[in-house]
Amino acid sequence: MPAAQVLTRLNEIVAVAEMHPGTRAERARTGIRAEFLPLLRQAVEQAAGDGLDAWLAGLLKPPAEPARNGMLMEVAAAMQAVNAARTNAAALEAARALMALAGRHLQAPDAAKLSLKVLEKELEGRLEVDALLQLLFATKAELTAQADHVEKAIDRLREELRQAVAQPAGLMWNFSRLKAERRVILAELKRRG
């Protein structure tokens, strides 16, 4: 998706949200994040350079070199401002700031496409960029809940694998994907303190 189209769509989302000023803050935050996520993925893929590599390397094999391109962590911090908004107006203001930040990076002359080297090397490509962004954009409570969910799913799959006569490839792939997700979640929770 071209950068101009990403920015236009972000603007449209905010404009629609502004038409509903009585929306509860929690619903506004959740809606903004859900609507923004696919567009932010586009922005990150087009302009975040080594940001994902630096974040994952810092989580999985510290210490890591800081990112030369700070877009990913700036976008994550801006999304945390959306998450922290206590009113609809504050959520919309934070969303506009996030939109402006994404626009600034997308329109930067030195914008570099996202590198996936660490994702491929350390996590063997088991997680999609969308899943990583959801984890990075999640609140600490959401990360903790996801960690619990992943642990239970791993336990269920482990039991299914024990009972299986043959080891179906799909079960093994899901098992390894969940283990990779757990690794990232626990490291991110540790990073946040």
Report if residue 156 sits inside a domain: yes
First and final C-alpha spacing in the chain: 36
The confidence score (pLDDT) of residue 78 equals 97
Report the alpha-carbon distance of residue 155 to residue 142 in Å, rounded: 20
Residue in 51, 31, 68 with CA at minimum distance from that of residue 132: 51
Residues 98 and 17 in one domain: yes
116 shares its domain with 74: yes
Split into its structural domains, the chain has a count of 2
What element of type H or E holds 66?
A: none
| Same domain membership, residue 60 and residue 122 | yes
- What DSSP letter does each residue of 105-167 carry, written as one string? HHT-TT-BPPP-HHHHHHSTT-S-HHHHHHHHHS-HHHHHHHHHHHHHHHHHHHHHHHH-SS-
pLDDT of 8:
95
User: According to the model, what pLDDT value does residue 167 have?
Assistant: 65
Parent domain of 118? 3-126
pLDDT of res. 170: 80
Domain-located, residue 12: yes
105 plus 150 within the same structural domain = no
Report pLDDT digits (tens) over 10-27: 999 999 988 888 888 888
Low-confidence ranges of the chain (pLDDT < 50): none
The token duo for 2 is 């071209």
| Percent of the residues in the chain that have a pLDDT greater than 70, as a whole number | 98
Largest CA-CA distance found in the chain, in angstroms, rounded: 57
pLDDT attached to residue 162: 83
In one letter, which amino acid is 179? Answer: K
Check residue 98 and give its pLDDT.
96
